Amino acid sequence: MSNDAAPKPSPVEGIKTASRFLRGTLAEELASDADHFGEESKQLLKFHGSYQQEDRDARKKRDKPAGKAYMFMIRLKLPGGKLTPAQYLAMDDICGKYANGTLRLTTRQSIQFHGILKGGLKASIAAMNDAFVSTLGACGDVNRNVIACPASTGDPVRVQMQELADKVAAHLAPRAGAGAYHEIWLNGEKQETFAAPEVAEPIYGDIYLPRKFKTGFALPHDNCTDILAQCLGFLAISEKNQPVGYNLYVGGGQGNTNSKPDTYPLLAQPVCFLEPDEVVPAAEAVVRLYKDHGNRSDRKRARLKYVMKDWGVEKFREVFSRDYFKKPLRPLVDAPITGLDLHLGWHKQANGKFFLGLSVENGRIKDEGSYRLRSGLRAIVSKFDCIVRISTQQDILLGEIDGANKAAIDSLLNEYGIPKPENLSMLQKWSMACPAIPTCGLAISESERSLPGLVDQIEPMLAELGLAGEPISVRMTGCPNGCARPFQSEIGLVGRSGSKYTLYIGGDSYGRRMNFEVQDSVPIEQLPGKLNNVFKAFKAERQGAELFGDYCHRVGLNRLQELIGPVVK
């Protein structure tokens, strides 16, 4: 037998090609009485924007091995995180009617709905589309939600960037898949605002991409979208506040698998400079390169970042330029990343109106006791007709607000118990957690439900040291897939098993650098004490206005390990 036989494609490859452009047997299974889908449909469902999940809390409570408590998550495709007031209010209605009464803002500027039962799936997706919001391609092996700085400042650079984000999203949206989507969820009706279904996929073909693909836009002084974590990144270059083009970055990603040492997070590499009208063709060219060269046999090593890693940036440039972009590449413009804006608080727009950024703890919009964020947002959006933008830090921005209404909105925030950003700790504003348990099937530890308690313990430590005003990013995930981008944060806490986390320290607040893995399997109760040792050393040894992550990076891994000490058994 020959050794050089092509590796066997993964089973998902077969499911995609046999699916007749994402149809499979989804319609039949949707119509059946079963409370869940079979394995093949479960894979195809992702392309339509939904994940089959299980209520993991219910699993723990059950005393007999009854069937799983199936439920579904739906994720919107929302380029740039933009919603009109009517669309936001429709999404709020849907979460109350079909889901668990919460909206979950994501790290890619989208909204997730959790806890939908199979019987409510079709009605939910139809209601989203009635509000002209699609879910097609929010998940699956296609270009995912395109992210771009959400600030509605109205400056020419952001305006162009946000328009290009829409264009890339539309260009890379599934076309034949749109036919399946309309048939299954919308009774064949075509939604006028979305691209018309086609009979074939002009870019993806019937095999789609080897794996998920992620695109982001950012500015050098405002990397709020973490573009170095993206498969494809466009960094806006401007002259005299006018957009002149984009530096192209390729090959970032966070996910890795504990049992596979050949998987790891990687930062995107700078490739070339593009003029604005080259952005869409370059996006298509990178996607086509990935389609042809990504690994289709091992889904754990199938992301574009591994093509970049295995080839190196020089070979990538050569193949990209010759075979896909089909033009010589222009040299990069010198434009280092120098900042990141959370866009919280009141800001003036170019048209004289205002936008207000509100910090949403771990992206969860809910009503709980006196904290009535969901009702408060509903009241503000309906009364003042504000546009809504979601940030990649899981926060919400309300825009197009008349200056005369600012005071009334501030008093509504008080009435609904919604904290103003200036009254929140820096730590809370700079923290993010993924959903993890009870909805995520891949979680090995808690995240969204654990981080707030940890933040509560760490805040007073920082305050006592006079460090409460420092921007220190803390990102927690329930497993190493990295959904809250923990490997680029100053403090990353990654679920290892149960209540133990791997502790990472030393990224920077602007997403330019990976952190160090400092200690594995740290029990959660030991984390505050260990971190406090590092905060104390930072306080004593920082140089000038050095930021926490920069200090940690400077002193290095050995010093950090010395500071945190061994795990206490």
Catalytically active residues, by annotation: 75, 144, 212, 214, 434, 440, 479, 483
Least Å distance between CB 75 and ligand SRM?
Answer: 5
Residue 387: contacted member of ligand SRM, ligand SF4, none (CB under 5 to 8 Å, by partner type): none
Distance CA 498, CA 524 (A): 9
Residue 488: contacted member of ligand SF4, ligand SRM, none (CB under 5 to 8 Å, by partner type): none
Q: Counting contacts by CB under 6 A, is residue 485 touching ligand SRM?
A: yes
Structural contact between residues 553 and 543, judged by C-beta atoms closer than 8 angstroms: no
Q: Which residues bind ligand SF4 (CB under 6 A)?
A: 434-436, 440, 442-443, 447, 477-479, 481-483
Least Å distance between CB 11 and ligand SRM?
Answer: 14
Residue 363: contacted member of ligand SF4, ligand SRM, none (CB under 5 to 8 Å, by partner type): ligand SRM
Residue 255: contacted member of ligand SRM, ligand SF4, none (CB under 5 to 8 Å, by partner type): ligand SRM
Distance CA 215, CA 132 (A): 22
Least Å distance between CB 273 and ligand SF4?
Answer: 34
Q: Which is nearer to ligand SF4, 442 or 463 (CB)?
A: 442
Residue 479: contacted member of ligand SRM, ligand SF4, none (CB under 5 to 8 Å, by partner type): ligand SF4
Strand partners, 493: 476, 503
Strand partners, 143: 213
Which range touches ligand SRM (CB under 6 A), out of 19-27, 61-69, 93-101, 478-486?
Answer: 478-486
Angle between helices 279-293 and 156-171 (to 10 degrees): 40
- Residues near 74 by Cβ (< 8 Å), separated by ≥ 6? 49, 50, 99, 112, 113, 116, 121, 124, 125, 128, 135
Q: Give which of 199, 135, 144, 163 is closest to 280, Cα–Cα.
A: 163
Least Å distance between CB 160 and ligand SF4?
Answer: 32
Q: Which is nearer to ligand SRM, 78 or 386 (CB)?
A: 78
- Residues near 221 by Cβ (< 8 Å), separated by ≥ 6? 338, 339, 341
Q: Counting contacts by CB under 6 A, is residue 255 touching ligand SRM?
A: yes
Among 108, 158, 175, 530, the residue binding ligand SRM under the rule CB under 6 A is 108
Residue 158: contacted member of ligand SRM, ligand SF4, none (CB under 5 to 8 Å, by partner type): none
CA distances from residue 76 to 24, 131, 313, 387 in whole angstroms, order as listed: 22, 12, 33, 17
Q: Counting contacts by CB under 6 A, is residue 162 touching ligand SRM?
A: no
Which range touches ligand SRM (CB under 6 A), out of 1-9, 173-181, 183-191, 252-260?
Answer: 252-260
Neighbouring C-beta atoms of residue 3, cutoff 10 Å:
4
Among 75, 175, 182, 530, the residue binding ligand SRM under the rule CB under 6 A is 75
Q: Which is nearer to ligand SF4, 157 or 266 (CB)?
A: 266
Q: Give which of 109, 176, 144, 49 is closest to 393, Cα–Cα.
A: 109
Give the count of residues interacting with ligand SRM (CB under 6 A): 30
- Residues near 398 by Cβ (< 8 Å), separated by ≥ 6? 355, 356, 358, 377, 380, 381, 384, 386, 387, 388, 409
Contact set for ligand SRM, span 512-551 (CB under 6 A) = none
**Contact characters 208-247, ligand SRM, x per CB under 6 A:** ----x-x--------------x------------------
Distance CA 113, CA 131 (A): 15
Contact set for ligand SRM, span 127-156 (CB under 6 A) = 144-145
Which range touches ligand SRM (CB under 6 A), out of 275-283, 437-445, 450-458, 539-547?
Answer: 437-445
DSSP characters for 44-111?
HHHHTTEEEEE-HHHHHH-SS-----EEEEEE-B-GGGEE-HHHHHHHHHHHHHTSSS-EEE-TTS-E
- Residues near 322 by Cβ (< 8 Å), separated by ≥ 6? none
Q: 403 by DSSP, 3-state: which? A: helix
Least Å distance between CB 253 and ligand SRM?
Answer: 3
Is the peptide bond prior to 480 cis by the omega test (within 30 degrees of 0)?
no
Q: Which is nearer to ligand SRM, 144 or 343 (CB)?
A: 144
Q: Which is nearer to ligand SRM, 54 or 155 (CB)?
A: 54
Q: Please name the amino acid found at residue 228.
A: L
Distance CA 229, CA 141 (A): 17
Q: Residue 41: which region, alpha, beta or left (left: phi > 0; alpha: psi -120 to 50)? A: alpha
Q: Which is nearer to ligand SRM, 212 or 288 (CB)?
A: 212
Which range touches ligand SRM (CB under 6 A), out of 19-27, 34-42, 371-379, 436-444?
Answer: 436-444
Among 483, 491, 493, 563, the residue binding ligand SRM under the rule CB under 6 A is 483
For the chain, the first-to-last Cα distance in angstroms comes to 52
Distance CA 318, CA 327 (A): 10
Among 182, 303, 343, 389, the residue binding ligand SRM under the rule CB under 6 A is 303
Residue 478: contacted member of ligand SRM, ligand SF4, none (CB under 5 to 8 Å, by partner type): ligand SF4
Residue 228: contacted member of ligand SRM, ligand SF4, none (CB under 5 to 8 Å, by partner type): none
Neighbouring C-beta atoms of residue 471, cutoff 10 Å:
17
Q: Which is nearer to ligand SRM, 174 or 243 (CB)?
A: 174
Q: Give which of 226, 448, 462, 424 is closest to 340, Cα–Cα.
A: 226
- Residues near 420 by Cβ (< 8 Å), separated by ≥ 6? 345, 358, 410, 413
Interaction site with ligand SRM (CB under 6 A)? 51, 73, 75, 106-108, 110, 112, 144-145, 212, 214, 229, 253-255, 303, 363, 394, 434-435, 439-442, 481-485
